[in-house]
Structure 1
Amino acid sequence: MFHAGDIAFDTVTGDNVQVLEKIEVWGYISYKVFNPATGRVYKAIEEQLNMQGNLIQYDENYLRYVAMLSKIKNETAGGFLSSLSSGIIPLPHQLHVLNRAMKTNNIRYILADEVGLGKTIEAGMIIKELKARGLVQRVLVVCPTGLVTQWASEMQEKFHEKFNVILPSDYDTIRRLTDNDDVYGQYDQVISPMDSIKPIEKHAGWTYERVEKYNEERIYSIINSGWDLIIIDEAHRVAGSSGEVARHKLGLLLSQASPYLLLLSATPHNGKTEPFLRLVRLLDEEAFPNAKSIVKEQVAPYLIRTEKREAIDNNGNKLFKNRITNLVNLNWDERHTLQRELYEMVSSYVSKSYNKALRNKKKNMCLIFLLIIMQRMVTSSTTAVKQSLERRLNVLLTQSTHIGFLTEEDLDDLDIEDGVEEALEAISLNMNEEIEELQEIIAVAKQAEFQHPDIKVEKLIDILDGILSEDNGQKIIIFTEFVATQQYLLKLLVGKGYLVSFLNGSMAINERNEALKEFRNKSNVFISTDAGGEGLNLQFSNIIINYDLPWNPMKIEQRCGRADRIGQQRDVHIYNFIVGDTVENRVREVLEEKLDLILREMGVDKYSDVLDSEVAEYDFTEVYMSSIGKPKRVENNLYPIESEMKQQLENSKKYKDIIKEEKDLTKLVGKGSDFDVDAALRMMCAYYECWQGRDLHLIERIGINDEEIVKHLRTNILQDKISPLPSVRIKNFPNESGYFMLWELSISDDESGKRILPIFVNEDYVLRPMAGKRLMDVFLDANSVLTVGTVPNIREENYQKLEKLSMDFAYEAFVELKEKQTKLNQESYNKYMYALKLRMDAAEHIGIENIRRSRVEKLQIEKASIEADYKKGSQVYPDFRLMILMRLEA
């Protein structure tokens, strides 16, 4: 026979339930019961409720399961509102970003951490917090095409946030399937490639009307889609080299389309004030009226930045490993006579044509770009330059040349893979002469291919064999600028038995994903072009081979950043290949000498190699091209830019000071939890499975929002007063005899309003305030040795004593929890209402009437909902339930 308030065990559901009411009619007895695990109230007949208490078989696994479950609930209930949402444990610099971002209502920032510090994770943390506070619903991420997959996978895997990727090829399909022109309005969270939505001014064969229609469909439909938060990754690209560049127009439109804006860039300032001014004006046009406003005090409120040398882990230790750079200097010998002759012939062809093309630079930009490509290819591989020369010859023979549309600004932004086709079709300065010269060069190139493998191949094989002989599981990344070189190396290495994967900028997203998966799980060698390698996270490899060296040192730095990232466990070894007897090597040598001298004169740290140059953003293409064919003039060619280099270094020091953020990350060590959520979840599941008598299976990937995990976290364990109590003895632990309890204190239905308190009272009913936590740590320690049995339950009056002592102990926690909820509820409401006003203002500026009206109506519904939630959140519903009571033996 049960009474209201009693805890009973329902043999049908297998849960402890609380009796709410006894119902007796015509001799039939039933009970209305409440199941706290499901929140369900239902009727149960007397026979299904166990009068002897629950049927739990107490053992060590059960006790450890309950302890771990309680620990996880406590950890995920504290801190930021979004802490429930993922298993991410932020590093100090990432916690700093979240703290800074959420300090004000005006969330418009540049996240400017250096490469490899996890800006995507920081943005994800901000998304989760804004969503948890009800400030955003619709989120748009705009990024380079190569980063689309990374964004989608990291948001899903680390934050359990589903983002829909909309590619240009998807646009018409979505419109047809949804029968709606508002393509982007169909999804609340979207990732879109930057270059697929930027406005165009002209297109070959298109009328003005068609260009306008394209822009209206692709750009303005996304702009007018009512975003709450817009994130632009690699945002320095939308700064543009001038205010008229298409990417900058896109950035300007996006910046006006959302109240909240995050611009992500490791290099927001390249030493030139104008692009940086355009970038910060996207955040706040009024705050930055002109270049004079680009000062540290004005920029600081809008920019959050950590440098690699500042970054520390959650133990306060240096976050990054060492980087060891090796210059692999190669020299031609008698085996490479034709390769050397090929280099000299190509250099002569390039030098003559380049000097002529410069006389009408504006008209000949396509040809200039082609010549730059040819010169860079000839030191990359014989195959690469031969193929391009053959394609160029075919264009000339078929008279397929045409005036290109490349501008000098385009040349600054162009990846080496992007403009090759257009460059190959550049107008010739003297077609007959060029055809004759190309035929001679191609003939030598064909002979060179058969004379001996490229000069760099033999050394490459030696390095690969040496590395893999020490560790055959090693992962090695090879970078090249050219697809043709990539294919040459792929065929060569596969033929020699290496397991090789490859990636380049022309590959579709699904192909890219497969290549990365293959490298991680199977291949030893990964060959990537620069365009293909953009945005890669390859910290599971620590070997990078730069098979050819870009002329812009920043490109090399970006390559190294693929492996030199958070999570890298080893020192990063870099091998830079260069052919000794070339103009390129001579330029590099003289450049390093001059930079070393300049840096010493200016009191800057010693210049070690070109990769760490303070002028890494300076592109030395002009120096290289003007030195081709005239190696003795390299120093003369560098003289005119020495003063510019000095000025660049001065600018570098100034802008680094402008974007440098003063902070002490050591103060944040330990502020974020060091609790390993994933490991705890796996351990909890393992204890549960063992307690249930099932075979333990390996859990490779687990998340706090997984369906099975959610069931555990929603489980409310209650102690009945009938069943035998677990009896526990701890080996080699100096405890008193008494009672260990876990009590659940709650002030609301929300998980953040709950805490589980470990409490110990000795057998004389004296509370030991510190002992509860110490004992909890023992149960959580998998290495502790427990002996578990059972003893008879205690009398009701003893339960009342334990409850009184426990409630007195828990009162302080109740007050703290209540005050925190009140504060967070008010802050959340204030920020939501502020954001709602901004969103309403933004909605009023939507150009399409029906979309504007619909958007305003939705926001009004949201307003009513948040006001109701605020009212509910202001109420406190305290409850104090005993989860488990065990007898602790001395």
Structure 2
Amino acid sequence: MSRDGIWRPGDWAWSREYREPVKVIEALDLWGKNVYRVWVPGRDAVLRLQENELSSITEAGLTSRERLIYTVAAARIAESLARPDILLAPLEGCVTPLPHQLYALSRAVSGNRVRYLLADEVGLGKTIEAGLIMRELKLRGLVRRTLVVAPKGLVMQWVQEMENRFRERFHLLMPAEITTLSCFEWDANVWQRFDQVVVPMDAVKPLESRRGWSRDQVSRYNRERFENLIAAGWDLIIVDEAHRIAGSTDAVARYRLGQALAEAAPYLLLLTATPHQGKTDSFHRLMALLDREAFPGVESIKRERVAPYVIRTEKRRAIDEKGQPLFKPRRTQLVTVVWQSRHQKQRELYEAVTEYVREGYNRALKEKRNYIGFLMVLMQRLVASSTRAIRTALQRRLEAIEQEAPFQINSEIELEEDWWDLDGQEQLEQILKHRLVAFASEREEVKRLLSLARQCESLPDARAEALLEWMYRLQAEENDPELKFLIFTEFIPTQEMLKEFLENRGFSVVCLNGSMGLEERRRVQQEFAGPARVLVSTDAGGEGLNLQFCHVVINYDLPWNPMRLEQRIGRVDRIGQEHVVRALNFVLQDTVEYRVQEVLQEKLAAILADFGVDKMSDVLDSAEVAPDFEDLYKEAILRPEEVESRIERLEAELRQRIQEATTANRLLGEEAELDSRLVEKIPGHPLPYWVERMTVNFLVSEGGIVKPKLAGYDLTWPDGFTMKDVVFSRQEADKHSMSYLSLEEPRVRGLVSRLPLAVAGQPFAKVRLKGLPQEISGYWSLWRISLMAENMREVRVLPLFHQEKDGKILMPTARRIWDLLLQEETSLEIQGYITGEKSEEIFERLQKQAVRYGHNLFLELKNQYEEHLQKEREKGRYAFQIRRQAIMRVGLPAVRQHRLAELERQEKEWALRLQQKEKILPELSAITIIYVEGVVP
């Protein structure tokens, strides 16, 4: 303010309404009224204020003890948020991450673009890693809306994991609810109703056409399921089993879904244990979803380009918080069930059905009726499962044959894209929903088999008897009368039979299958974790289960793809398993399954010994391999004498594929050395305490109300908004069933993002600080150093201490004073204030020192930003180079010239955008200045 009482542009004034310094931009004298346009830093807005709304900066509100503590705490939090080595999510206490999960979190948030492939091997907790990254981004104020896209069998697991481990509520949107909501809200985007959504992958992929649907129906379906989803405004998108959206070509629906999802959010996490299965074109499509410029063509798939986008840990390197190997050993054995004389009828039924399957399949091949072939394959698996399973299927087949259908299918049935992802029961339902033409004499054959099956159901069952015997044997071996058993089967009728069989013998049994809803699944899992001793599950029911409290798995029937077995055993062979896992695979002697398994197990064991379970999983966990195993069993049915030679050919193919996948996985980069000591540092970090100090002291200083309770607080903000029963620790919130207040809350977050501003001429407090040596006295200050560029601002906080007696700058002392000001037990007394010209003189002196000592911090920011820009330049130039090379291969000169001209135009636009990003501006501002002196303890 000038001597005539008028503010000039550039002057600082004090706003009583906003309770902070404001800077005059323009002074207007209109008809006898002085009006000012001022910049309000806390709002980063330019407003008009009248003269009577401003006062001299020397009359600024005097800093109270509480406002000082709020300010230094907010600045300390801001400093932590700016440092990539400080991770917020683990400090909440919901999940204590393992070393490899901490590494994944640290890597993910270390750069400007959070777009990564999380490629840990099976069982290492990629879901937890994704949850930690999501929480970190939410706490940093970067994410509010999150979408999880996963295969149908995993969506319930995602909802449960996010709620149980992170207290994050996700809304599961299944196809039926999407349709219902769309009908009620036909003109609205239903995806915008929920901020956190989990949805099945195949429920939202776009359709080209559907049998019996008009173009309008297809268009409406795509708008509701696909277009509205993409347009819903997501901050973070997570895709589980992401290799499935790489697609066999770039035209398949899943890949088109992946492309759209990649453009629909700034942050993207792709999760897969098998990112590269030996097919570079598929892997390229996956990587291009993360960054199209970095991966413009297949030739861009090189280790130095791929590694920065991939976070991967192998099981063999994973360690626990004590540095010990993470996984317990496992014992797997093939249990041969021998037919006894009392099982003669059951054996006759098996052989009769196998003959029916052989004849039916041969007819299907000759008559080119693939749907009958699919059905015959399932009939073989059903009879190998249980008498009840085959009896139920035969009954349904007979009803279909005898029913007079309005139409019958004589053409080929197209397999669904996710056919190989379905379990046996789901595949059976897919086939039986079609009205299939019977082959000649099939009706009489099915009647005969059904009669035999009904006779068998009341007779002793060889495999059920063996199951009971083994359960008693394991109970004795483990010396545990309450030993729990996880039993798997492919089919629901077998599941129902086992439940009845075991309950009649005194076992408490619960069941899981793919038809159950989320609440029912949760209840069953709770019962199995509690009183129930046996869980009988289908493959679809078992997807996503975490059952570390059980360590015995019995595969009552064997899926034809051995990866299914690995997935079953993986339900208990997980992080946190404390026992050696026992896995028993039941197979009936002298059956198709026995002939295959006897040789196949030997070959797979040899592959396992040579490559390791995880390398084998890289290949077996593939939709391309599943048909190979089905073909193997078909061969065993049609030509039993060729089983061994066919398995040898398959072994050679698998070895080649595993070798290719192993070589390909070297593209993913070097693994980091994991440090178990990182886990020990988590519980002691004071960030939650800083948030509490900041919030409570802000409210006291600014006219809010803080009411301490036996546990936690009731808070009233200056605008009257209330928060009841809040605590600042996740553990305390869980313990006392109270609300957890963190940086995720916008009001709390705002205290950090709107740090106070100190300016020349403002009064500075004189503080006596216990814990500081008496001989220490001088000016302590905090300075915000910023780098501003296009659409971004990077901030660092610099503490300075200017010793009064010799004028030296003592940086360690500056940090020590900051620590003392944040400690609750520290005695802090304000003795008075420095005002007027002395205040201005001190400010100017300290500002010069901040310019000098802050230079290195600014250079650090500048170098980081320029490094980021250099990577952007290299990616862009590389992408244009690859595109130019592709255009030069075009044969027609006119077309080639047109495309080159268009590419040149795009390159110029890109160069201009990059040039705008090169403009950077520094900023320096004071947060607080105090005079501090030590006190004799």
Q: TM-score, normalised by structure 2?
A: 0.65
Distance 1:114 1:390 in 2: 43
1:753 Cα deviation after fit: 10
CA distance in 1, matches of 2:164, 2:859: 32
Q: Residue in 2 aligned with 1:7? A: none
Q: Is the 8 A contact 1:365 1:407 kept in 2?
A: no
Distance in 2, Cα, partners of 1:337 & 1:642: 35
Out of 702, 717, 733, the residue aligned to residue 734 of structure 2 is: 702
Distance 1:174 1:375 in 2: 41
Q: Does 1:566 align with 2:575?
A: yes
Distance 1:113 1:445, change over 3 A: same
Name the aligned partner's letter for residue 508 of structure 1: G
- Out of 917, 927, 935, the residue aligned to residue 877 of structure 1 is 927
Matched residues in 1 for 2:189 and 2:429: separation? 34
| Contact kept? 2:273, 2:618, Cα under 8 Å | no
Alignment check: 8 A CA contact 2:374 2:431 kept = yes
| Alignment pair present for 1:367 and 2:372 | yes
Spell out, residue by residue over 1:132-180, the C-alpha distance to the aligned partner (whole angstroms, 9 max, x if none). 4454443221112333333234334444444333333333555577785
Query: Which residue is 1:463 aligned to?
Result: 471
Q: CA deviation at 1:37?
A: 10
Question: Of the candidates 486, 499, 502, which is equivalent to residue 493 of structure 1?
Answer: 502
Residue 95 of structure 2 corresponds to residue 86 of structure 1: no
Secondary structure at the aligned position of 1:110 is classed as strand
The CA deviation at 1:97 is 1.8
Corresponding position: 1:669 with 2:690:
no
Find the aligned partners of 2:863 and 2:141 in 1 and give their Cα distance: 12
1:250 to 247, 253, 257: 257
State whether residues 163 and 189 of structure 1, in contact with CA within 8 Å, keep that contact through their aligned partners in structure 2.
Answer: yes
Q: Secondary structure at the match of 2:426?
A: coil
Q: Contact 2:688 / 2:742 at 8 angstroms: preserved in 1? A: no
Report the residue type matching 2:467 in the other structure: K
Structure-2 change in CA distance of 1:794 and 1:296 (3 Å): closer
Whole-Å separation in 1 of the counterparts to 2:375 and 2:177:
33
Q: Would the alpha carbon gap of residues 176 and 357 (structure 1) be closer, same or farther in structure 2, given more than 3 Å must change? A: closer
Q: How does 1:178-217 map to 2 (within 5 A)?
A: 181-217=188-224
**Aligned with residue 132 of structure 2, among 120, 125, 134:** 125
Q: Tell me whether 1:622 sits opposite 2:631 in the alignment.
A: yes
Q: 1:446 aligns with which of 454, 457, 464?
A: 454
- Distance in 2, Cα, partners of 1:390 & 1:244: 41
The whole-number CA distance in structure 1 between the counterparts of 2:497 and 2:853 is 66
Deviation of 1:510 (Å): 2.1
CA separation in 2, counterparts of 1:406 and 1:127? 39
Which residue of the partner structure matches residue 389 of structure 1? 394
CA distance in structure 2 between the partners assigned to 1:464 and 1:820 by the alignment: 69
- 2:339 is aligned to 332
**Equivalenced residues, count:** 739
Cα–Cα, structure 1 residues 155 and 880, in superposed 2: closer, same or farther, change >3 Å?
Answer: farther
Match of 2:877 in 1: none
SS of the residue 1:564 aligns to = coil
- Kindly state the Cα deviation for residue 396 of structure 1 after the two structures are TM-superposed: 0.7
Deviation at 1:482, TM superposition (A): 1.3
- Check 1:753–1:879 CA distance in 2 against 1; reply closer, same or farther (3 A cut): farther
Contact 2:423 2:490 in 1 (8 A): no
State the match for 1:800 in structure 2: none
Q: What is the alpha-carbon root mean square deviation over aligned residues?
A: 5.8
Paired residues of 2:121 and 2:614 also in contact (CA < 8 A): no
The letter of the residue matching 1:483 is: I
Q: 3-state DSSP class of the match of 1:570?
A: coil
| Displacement of 1:399 | 4.0
Residue matched to 2:890:
none
Seen in structure 2, the aligned counterparts of structure 1 residues 827 and 183 have a Cα distance that, compared at 3 Å, is farther
2:432 match: 424
Which stretches in structure 1 are left out of the alignment for 5+ residues?
A: 1-30, 42-70, 693-697, 715-724, 726-737, 739-743, 757-768, 781-792, 798-814, 836-869
**Are residues 467 and 493 of structure 1, via their aligned partners in 2, closer, same or farther at CA, if it must alter by over 3 Å?**
same
Aligned partners of 1:165 and 1:192 also within 8 Å: yes
Does the 8 A contact of 2:619 with 2:654 survive in 1? no
Amino acid at match of 2:460: H
The match for 1:227 is 234
- Distance in 2 (alpha carbons) for counterparts of 1:680 and 1:673: 16
Match of 2:544 among 535, 554, 565: 535
Alignment of 1:674-685 (within 5 A): 674-676=681-683
Q: Which runs of 5+ in 2 are unaligned?
A: 1-60, 693-708, 714-729, 749-769, 775-779, 785-794, 800-811, 832-851, 873-919
Instruction: Name the CA shift for 1:270/1:96 in 2 (closer, same or farther; >3 Å).
Output: same
Q: Does 1:658 align with 2:667?
A: yes
Q: Which stretch has the larger CA shift, 616-625 or 698-707?
A: 698-707
With over 3 angstroms needed to count, the CA separation of the structure-2 counterparts of 1:498 and 1:73, relative to structure 1, is farther
Contact 2:242 2:271 in 1 (8 A): yes
Cα distance in 2 for partners of 1:670, 1:137 equals 32
CA contact (8 A) 1:149 1:513 kept: no
- Residue 656 to residue 663, structure 1, CA distance change in 2 (3 Å): closer
Given that 1:553 and 1:610 are in contact with CA atoms closer than 8 Å, whether structure 2 keeps it comes out as no
Distance in 2 between residues matched to 1:691 and 1:105, nearest whole Å: 36
User: How far is the alpha carbon of 1:514 from its aligned partner?
Assistant: 2.0
Counterpart check, 1:580 vs 2:586: no
Q: Percent identity?
A: 39
Secondary structure of the 1:390 match is helix
Q: Which sits farther off after the overlay, 512-521 or 131-140?
A: 131-140
CA 1:630 to 1:261, structure 2 compared with 1: closer, same or farther past 3 Å? same
Select 2:150's aligned residue among 143, 154, 158. 143
The one-letter amino acid paired with 2:270 is L
Secondary structure in 1 matching 2:394: helix
In 2 relative to 1, CA 675–407 (structure 1 residues): closer, same or farther, beyond 3 Å?
A: closer
**Cα displacement (A) at 1:705:** 11
CA–CA distance in 2 between the matches of 1:279 and 1:189? 24
Tell me the equivalent position of 1:437.
Answer: 445
1:321 to 322, 328, 332: 328
Q: How much does 1:552 deviate?
A: 0.9
Q: Is the 8 A contact 1:504 1:529 kept in 2?
A: yes
The 1:433/1:149 distance shift into structure 2, 3 A limit, reads same
479-488 or 461-470: bigger deviation: 461-470
SS in 2 for 1:230: strand
For residue 927 of structure 2, what is the amino acid of its counterpart?
Y
Q: Name the CA shift for 1:828/1:483 in 2 (closer, same or farther; >3 Å).
A: farther
The letter of the residue matching 1:554 is M
